[in-house]
Amino acid sequence: MATLEIKDLVAHVETKDGIKQILKGASLTVNSGETHAIMGPNGSGKSTLAYTLAGHPKYIVDSGQVLLDGEDVLKMTPDERAKAGLFLAMQYPVEVPGVSMTNFLRTAKTEIDGKAPKLKTWTEELTESMKRLKMDPKFATRSVNEGFSGGEKKRAEVLQLELLRPKFAILDETDSGLDVDALRIVSEGVNRAKEANNFGILMVTHYTRILKYIKPDIVHVFSDGHFVKTGGPELADELEEQGYDQYLPAGSDSE
């Protein structure tokens, strides 16, 4: 069993207009096998939380801690975080021209496991996963995310998730830009990967529709840089009906 603890995390970005404080004391603990949904209004800092966990250099931590089984994640480089078992699926995945999906995945797998996977089993696994995600085999030789549609990028991420077997997966708006069929395929992929590896999931989402496919154990409301409420799956239904108005900081407009 693994535990990821986020303790009172405070972080900012530097913009051309000065420092913007985004995370204002975010705390959360997630264990292996748990699925947490992080829901909240646009601009509340959900993606920033995900990026900060992944070690994106733009987001600068002022105070607080992130511990993975007691190890200080904030001291680790993004590579070391991946090696330690953190996986981030971004809201806007980056394109990597000139690096094929298959090379990228094999390199990442080798880096994370500390040894290269056996070619035959690896190729079989890759082929099987792609088939289940209904990805054209041609994607294996295409450059990472280059010219992929929104839905194809999300599938490519779930493919990574299945093959890399992290301890914790942070999924940022995995549902955005997906039609119903793609949403189902992507969700099934996440569920399959979770069944196989029992990792913990932090699922960031603005809308509740993905929660019909990936069932959360715990639902959190995130607003203005921190968690303001935690509940069971019924909290998502409440948010679906009532929106985020009651959780917005005073003086802000709802979206």
Binding site for Mg ion (CB under 5 A): 42, 46-47, 91
Minimum distance between the CB of residue 56 and ligand ADP, rounded to whole angstroms?
Answer: 9
Q: Which of 32, 47, 160, 208 binds ligand ADP (CB under 6 A)?
A: 47
Residue from 133, 145, 127, 144 nearest 192 by CA = 133
Q: Any idea which residue has 């409420």 for tokens?
A: 229
* 8 Å CB contact between 11 and 59: yes
* Contact partner, 52, from ligand ADP, Mg ion, none, Cβ < 5-8 Å per class: none
Q: Which is nearer to Mg ion, 165 or 206 (CB)?
A: 206
How, if at all, do strands 200-205 and 35-39 pair? parallel
Burial call 140-150: b when 16+ CB within 10 Å, e when fewer: bebbbbeebee
Q: Which of 6, 10, 11, 22 binds ligand ADP (CB under 6 A)?
A: 22
Minimum distance between the CB of residue 232 and Mg ion, rounded to whole angstroms?
Answer: 24
Minimum distance between the CB of residue 168 and ligand ADP, rounded to whole angstroms?
Answer: 18
Give CA torsion, residues 169, 47, 133, 94, to 10 deg: -110
Q: Which is nearer to ligand ADP, 15 or 121 (CB)?
A: 15
CA distance 59 to 46: 12
Minimum distance between the CB of residue 65 and ligand ADP, rounded to whole angstroms?
Answer: 20
Q: Any idea which residue has 């997966």 for tokens?
A: 169
* 8 Å CB contact between 143 and 96: yes
* Contact partner, 44, from ligand ADP, Mg ion, none, Cβ < 5-8 Å per class: ligand ADP
Q: Which of 58, 184, 209, 215 binds ligand ADP (CB under 6 A)?
A: 58
Q: Any idea which residue has 């800092």 for tokens?
A: 45
- Decide: is 253 part of the binding site for ligand ADP (CB under 6 A): no
How, if at all, do strands 86-89 and 168-172 pair? parallel
Minimum distance between the CB of residue 172 and ligand ADP, rounded to whole angstroms?
Answer: 7
Minimum distance between the CB of residue 146 and ligand ADP, rounded to whole angstroms?
Answer: 23
Q: Which is nearer to Mg ion, 37 or 101 (CB)?
A: 37
Minimum distance between the CB of residue 9 and Mg ion, rounded to whole angstroms?
Answer: 16
User: Cα dist. 23→13, 60, 199, 224, 237 in Å?
Assistant: 10, 10, 25, 8, 26
Write phi, then psi, for 186 (nearest 5 degrees).
Answer: -65, -45
- Decide: is 45 part of the binding site for ligand ADP (CB under 6 A): yes
Which listed range, 44-52, 68-76, 78-86, 153-161, lies at the site for ligand ADP (CB under 6 A)? 44-52
Q: Which is nearer to ligand ADP, 51 or 139 (CB)?
A: 51
Interacting residue ranges for ligand ADP, rule: CB under 6 A: 13, 15, 20, 22, 40, 42-48, 58
